[in-house]
Each structure stands twice: as structure tokens, then as C-alpha cells.
Amino acid sequence: MMEKPLAGKIALVAGATRGAGRGIAVQLGAAGATVYVTGRSTGSRRSEMNRPETIEETAALVDEAGGHGIAIAVDHLVADEVRELVERIDAEQGVLDVLVNDIYGAPIEWNKTVWESTLDTGLRTLRLAVDTHAVTSHFALPLMIRKPGALVVEVNDGTTDYNSENYRVSFFYDLAKTAVNRMAFALGHELASYGGTAVAVTPGWLRSEAMLDAYQVTEENWREATKVQPHFAISESPAFVGRAVAALAGDAEVARWNGKSVSSGELAKEYGFTDLDGSRPDSWRYLVEVQDPGKPADVTGYR
């Protein structure tokens, strides 16, 4: 029988329709957790991202992995919907051990200054990337702090070190991704006296459904995309960041990460897990040392 270190644990992955959120939900399920998966895309309606993935599919994948998935349609900008979600978790479980804030789903206008950007689009980016996390934490944390050991994971794009030194190709995107890391820092301070932990976790170059579609490949033949973009060789599957979060959730000494910003690659070295292909891609170190300086693609020593 496979070990289930998170058996009996209750998790909420907010923004679990696809990408990192789906990968995290599935790996929490694989570790035995009951996982509430939320998002705006369901079998009957799509979000503004207009993608085919649904929260019901994610819940089914959690079940297949060995956990218990529960899909609930929630717009995390709507306070009443989030409050009702947490009230339902409280009524059904009486506890919430892990909160993963992975909500995003925002349009981006790349390579435009703040004055060139469409203001409504930019502000929508901030609302979906930042406000949603704050709203969800506001309602979920009173349930979580009833007992010590609560874990909040803020999923982001880029570590604090990287984002503080590099412009993220859009004023609004740059601001959003800086804010998410800071939220983990602030929540860490607020949770510490209750025995809770908050950590910002970033995947590397993620092979999300949208990214695979952009390169016209699948998870099975993703290496074909390196013919178009050689640096894609450092990319990682959503399962990799999922295993990172599952490792944190199963760590009795997770408080050592409180308030910090870490990558899936860093956590893989610490906890010993691998990606689906058995490798340990260290995307952010590769980005700084190889891709950003304009060196030829070579993942030797980086995965």
C-alpha cells in the first residue's frame, strides 16, 4: 500500500482549474488529502480565460490519484461566495489544514508601459492576482487557526529575490507578482503566534495546458518544443510544484519556511522529490545563470 502522509488532512486549492493549481491539487490527493478545488470554469461555463479545463475534471484527477476531490464553483473576487465556501468546509469537515492561493486567470498586455496599457485590463490583472488571495485568506484563516499547524501557500511566478531584481515585462504583472510574495511574508507574521506557516512557492517554466498548446505539444512529447525554444528544456510539469506543496504540507517542521519565498527546484533538493521524468529542474537558477545572460541552452547540471 502506498504511503499517504496527508491522510485525514483537509486542503483548499483556490484556483485549481488548470496549471499549477491542478498539479498541486492532484499531488495533495496523491498524498491522501481531501481537496476542495475551486475556480470559475465548470462543465457548464467558462471563465474569461476561455479554456476548456474545468474544476470537475480536477476533482476527478484528485480521486484518481488516491485522494478525495470536491469541486465548488467560486469567483474569489465575490466575498459572499468565498464566505459560503469556507462555511461549507467548516460544516463538512470542521477544519482546514492547508490553503493554497493559486487564483489568477487574468489577461496580460505584455511589453506595454503603464501609460500604454489598457487601464481596465491592468486593474483587472491586479484584482484577479492580488485581491482574490486577500479575500480568500480573510475568510479561510479564522477556520485554519483553530488549531496549530495551518499552512498557507501563496503560489507565484518568481521568487522574491528574482522579482526584486528583474522587471516582469508588464507594470501590472510586475506589481502583482511582487505583491503575492509579500502576502506570504505578511501572513507569516500574522500566523506565527497561532502556530501557522505561510510560504510563497513558485514553479519554474511551467508546462501548463496553455503553454503546451502554445507550442503545439503535449506532456508526452513536450521536448519537441525545444526545436522552437531551446530553453524550454528546463521546463517542468505541474506535478513538480504539486509535489513541492505536498512535501511542505507533510513536513512537521514546515515553520522553518515561514514567510519565505522558495521555488519548486529549491524544495526538490530539500525534500528529495522529482518531476515526472525523474529529474529535478532548477528553473530559476537556470534562468539567472544561462537564459538571462544569453548563453546557449544547456540544462546540464540544472535538471
CATH number, domain of 188, equals 3.40.50.720
Picking from 29, 18, 17, the residue whose alpha carbon sits closest to that of residue 245 is: 29
42 located within any domain: yes
The C-alpha cell that represents 31 in the structure block: 498524498
Say whether 79 sits in a helix, a strand or coil.
helix
What is the C-alpha to C-alpha distance for residues 154 and 245, in angstroms, rounded to an integer?
10
107 located within any domain: yes
Picking from 228, 199, 196, 204, the residue whose alpha carbon sits closest to that of residue 215 is: 228
Question: DSSP class of residue 128?
Answer: I
The C-alpha cell that represents 226 in the structure block: 525545444
302 located within any domain: no
Q: What does the pLDDT read at residue 49?
A: 81
Question: DSSP class of residue 221?
Answer: S
Residue in the structure block whose three cell numbers are 498524498: 31
How many domains does the chain contain in total? 1
213 located within any domain: no
Q: Which residue range(s) make up the domain with 96?
A: 10-205+238-279
Predicted confidence pLDDT, tens digits, the chain (303 residues): 468 999 999 999 999 999 999 999 999 999 999 999 999 988 888 888 889 889 999 999 999 999 999 999 999 999 999 999 999 999 999 999 999 999 997 788 999 999 999 999 999 999 999 999 999 999 999 999 999 999 999 999 999 999 999 999 999 999 999 999 999 999 999 999 999 999 999 999 999 999 999 999 999 999 999 999 999 999 999 999 999 999 999 999 999 999 999 999 999 999 999 999 999 999 999 999 999 999 999 999 999
The DSSP bridge pattern shows strands 34-39 and 197-202 to be: unpaired
Say whether 278 sits in a helix, a strand or coil.
coil
88 located within any domain: yes
